[in-house]
Structure 1
């Protein structure tokens, strides 16, 4: 992602003072900007006005967004600052850009992904000597190695949070903003505790909803975290609760509940490990599997009998799924999800009854991937219908009773029609 920062007079003077000492310039500075638009980590195009009425990109660097102050401002940390030998006037840059994105040259905020890519291409065309500098700024930190049971649990928590964000059609790049420690060898809390705090946390109505859902999760826990994110008129509450130490936790459950649709989905994570030239999960080694499948069967049957509205059509109205999830051995610093296979509970049981031996890419004939599964949930094609709060609360209690680490996500507010959501994504993209 690319962002344009317009320096005020004091910041510009500070940069001019450090320009003669590259090692000091590279350390950058800290500032604040509007909380409404600044999120994530970006390549920074830094604009100063060394000549009156002639703003120009005089520096490039990397900007990371930190904590929010009140409802209006966020901390920004600008590092790896590099001075351009020949600054690029914004007018010159705008003239070289395609007409549809020309106005973005004068913005003072993060740019949509595709627009930022176009701008960098044009900028390196105007100043080829910047190519290596910008390539260096785009290099991400390496992933964090997973060595312990607690770190492995953290990786699956992270994935479940990302899946919930994508099912709700929220921006999954929030995962990139998680402030994880450099190593995961010490004590670890919920992954949510490392996630950014949205300004929505300060809204009184939203805090009322959060208190309601926290009550659903109970108080008797080893670690607990929660976040609320807002988009338009929608709010997404995400909570995490675990009553057992990592070494005794039997896996991760994701419960996603769309309040207005009265629809919920339960995803139970199962780890698949490298096995020769395939990935495999052996049901025969999972001593808790039979009881977990019985639980899912009972939930699916209850949802089949629920009272539905006339327009509550589903391709599948049963909510229980398994995600056979790769054990990658690391946590990425990007927004990517862990690759794996999503299987409806009853299809999983069918395959198991056929005695395929193990579940892997060579033995499972068909499955949904991250994109297909989350899109079908987002569009309302799969998930229960006519489900009230009571059943959801029962499953929250059941996950905890079974010693599962629970990620619980609740979406409040009507989802826009698909055509409108596609339009909104295109606006974000360009």
Structure 2
């Protein structure tokens, strides 16, 4: 089902540069035009420039932008709006009218429906049948647009991860870590949101990420000349048997986010997922270890393995140094957290679109909880300990945690890159699937805070490059 936004050519020219920078568009949609029904299809969006006023004899329209609708908003008591995000510029001229126009491929009833939805100055929608006909025409006549269409469709209609499947559970945790890292580093979610299932169930989540099909021309940094992300000459990228997938993002201000997903063991041998964010300018990292709560009881039993993992995280925390400069001050000395996360039992009916709900608990706080009566099991005389919503008086939620990390209020002080990667290798050798990101920036602490707190529309332009180590575990896999 496509949303159709048709604007006069002069208006399109006025907003073209802004669209190129922000890569999103919000338009009012009359409440009566809200689509209903279970089979309305993926929420694609077509943005059309109408230059009819300069063509007396016939309409002269072009498809200029394509995107997918990320959300619906309610700006007034009667109208609603749709936000198209991501929004991408077509890489070639796509005429709608004339002998070679896309509209000529539509049958009479579908053409009438399209014309009603594409009145100039309006935002409306068409049926899935109209989109299917338009999609077929675009793929046939404009093959250069095929990668963009596939990328947008994946954004609009992503695969559903099943909480009852072991591989999907691992990918859910890694997906949540990717989304957390993008929020912390202030990169747009669509940059790493296009995903398809990897061929191997043992592969990391980022092996399925699809890069956007073209690099944005607003970014001056040439991806191929921007250095070797994560030291690609390392043993991880030289057939060591460790699977390593790297995604590198650049924004229009020169900030760079390098995200790598590393594992060294098959799915059944792993012990969990780690997310590590390292801010290079301040030499500070924050680590989150994922634990899954029972979706009904919203709790987990604390066993010897978890206690051992907590002890290891305590040792990781010892990489911390004491602050000597104002920008090194932190709210506490905890760089390591548990995220006790939960996903719906039936994710096909209740997909998680943002961060998975859960509790963020600093490890030192968890150690105190495990000495308190509040975590004792319900059975009388039982020594079993439980962690969950009923066993912790306080916890951080996702938005609070993200804000603390992105403001530099939590994390280590004075941790070198060599210390970081030595720790990452230990975590991998211990069976953790590690998703680690480095943010490179020339921002001062003040500039970083100013960017984070700015309410003005932010640039959505970025470039994306991937590096992959395809060998995974054994040669026969």
Shared fold (TM-score, shorter chain, > 0.5): yes
Q: Distance in 2 between matches of 1:341 and 1:359?
A: 10
CA separation of 1:50 and 1:163: change in aligned 2, threshold 3 A? same
Q: Distance in 2 between matches of 1:234 and 1:328?
A: 36
RMSD: 4.3
Is the Cα–Cα contact under 8 Å of residues 3 and 44 in structure 1 kept in the other structure?
A: yes
Residue 251 of structure 1 is matched in structure 2 by 272
Q: Please, which runs of 5 or more residues in structure 1 have no aligned partner?
A: 9-33, 66-71, 94-122, 125-129
Deviation at 1:247, TM superposition (A): 1.2
Residue 99 of structure 1 is matched in structure 2 by none
Residue 250 of structure 2 is matched in structure 1 by 230
Residue 191 of structure 1 is matched in structure 2 by 205
Q: Deviations over 1:253-285 (max 9, x none)?
A: 11110000111011111111123xx4011113x
Are 2:336 and 1:320 equivalent residues in the alignment? yes
Of 354, 360, 372, which aligns to 1:342? 360
Is the Cα–Cα contact under 8 Å of residues 6 and 118 in structure 2 kept in the other structure?
A: no
Q: Deviations over 1:189-240 (max 9, x none)?
A: 32212224364895244342x1516738565345321100112120000001
Of 405, 416, 427, which aligns to 1:399? 427
Aligned residue pairs: how many? 351
Q: Distance in 1 between matches of 2:91 and 2:63?
A: 21
The alignment partner of 1:230 has SS state of strand
Deviation at 1:145, TM superposition (A): 3.9
Is the Cα–Cα contact under 8 Å of residues 267 and 321 in structure 1 kept in the other structure?
A: yes
Q: Please, which runs of 5 or more residues in structure 2 have no aligned partner?
A: 10-18, 26-42, 70-88, 95-101, 132-152, 376-384, 461-477
Of 151, 166, 169, which aligns to 2:168? 151
Q: Deviations over 1:132-179 (max 9, x none)?
A: 759x9999647614243222111111111111111111112334322x
Deviation at 1:252, TM superposition (A): 0.3
1:261-300 → structure 2 map (5 Å cutoff): 261-275=282-296, 278-284=297-303, 287-300=304-317
Are 2:399 and 1:371 equivalent residues in the alignment? yes
1:1-400 → structure 2 map (5 Å cutoff): 42-50=44-52, 52=54, 63=67, 83-85=114-116, 87-89=118-120, 93=121, 123=122, 130=124, 141=157, 144-146=160-162, 147-178=164-195, 180-181=196-197, 187=201, 189-197=203-211, 199=215, 203-208=223-228, 210-212=229-231, 215=234, 219=238, 220-231=240-251, 232-275=253-296, 278-284=297-303, 287-303=304-320, 305-306=321-322, 308-329=324-345, 330=347, 335-355=353-373, 356=375, 357-400=385-428
Is the Cα–Cα contact under 8 Å of residues 315 and 381 in structure 1 kept in the other structure?
A: yes
Of 436, 439, 448, which aligns to 1:417? 448
Q: Distance in 2 between matches of 1:414 and 1:335?
A: 32
Q: Distance in 2 between matches of 1:173 and 1:238?
A: 15
Q: Which shifted more, 245-254 or 384-393? A: 384-393
Is the Cα–Cα contact under 8 Å of residues 63 and 90 in structure 2 kept in the other structure?
A: no
Deviation at 1:313, TM superposition (A): 1.1
CA separation of 1:359 and 1:227: change in aligned 2, threshold 3 A? same
CA separation of 1:39 and 1:226: change in aligned 2, threshold 3 A? farther
Is the Cα–Cα contact under 8 Å of residues 50 and 60 in structure 2 kept in the other structure?
A: yes
Q: Which shifted more, 419-428 or 308-317? A: 419-428
